[in-house]
Amino acid sequence: EDQVTQSPEALRLQEGESSSLNCSYTVSGLRGLFWYRQDPGKGPEFLFTLYSAGEEKEKERLKATLTKKESFLHITAPKPEDSATYLCAYTVPGSARQLTFGSGTQLTVLP
């Protein structure tokens, strides 16, 4: 059965303390792996899409990487405004291209 698991569930960092969030997946025929950021009470904000193992994408302090079994979201020198829940999701080939989400990692960056 296809599934995605995110770890840790929650992470507290000091400002400037770099770390990584993990998204492990077991999917037959992955089409795309997505990262979203979600602030409390708001809709998810698109960050990255990765399509093949070895692919990397960067945006400001965030870098997403993809292997055949997992994806990492690396956060370099985080700031308090990076505090949010980070969600990963995948799509598989098919007409709907629906996103299947993990439960997220709640990141808190302390000043």
Partner 1 sequence: ETGVTQSPTHLIKTRGQQVTLRCSSQSGHNTVSWYQQALGQGPQFIFQYYREEENGRGNFPPRFSGLQFPNYSSELNVNALELDDSALYLCASSFTRDTEAFFGQGTRLTVV
Cβ-based nearer residue to partner 1, 40 or 111: 40
Contacts of 29 (CB under 8 A, 6+ apart): 92, 93
Q: How far apart are CA 10 and CA 103, in angstroms?
A: 11
Amino acid at 85: T
Q: Between 38 and 67, name the residue whose CB sits nearer to partner 1.
A: 38
- Map residue 80 onto helix, strand or coil: helix
Judged by the rule CB under 8 A, the positions of this chain that interact with partner 1 are 34, 36, 41-46, 49, 87, 89, 94-104
What is the nearest approach in angstroms of partner 1 to the Cβ of residue 6? Answer: 8
β-pair type (84-91, 62-66)? unpaired
Nearer to partner 1, 79 or 97 (CB): 97
Output the smallest distance, CB 70 to partner 1, in A.
Answer: 16
CB of 49 to partner 1, least distance (A): 5
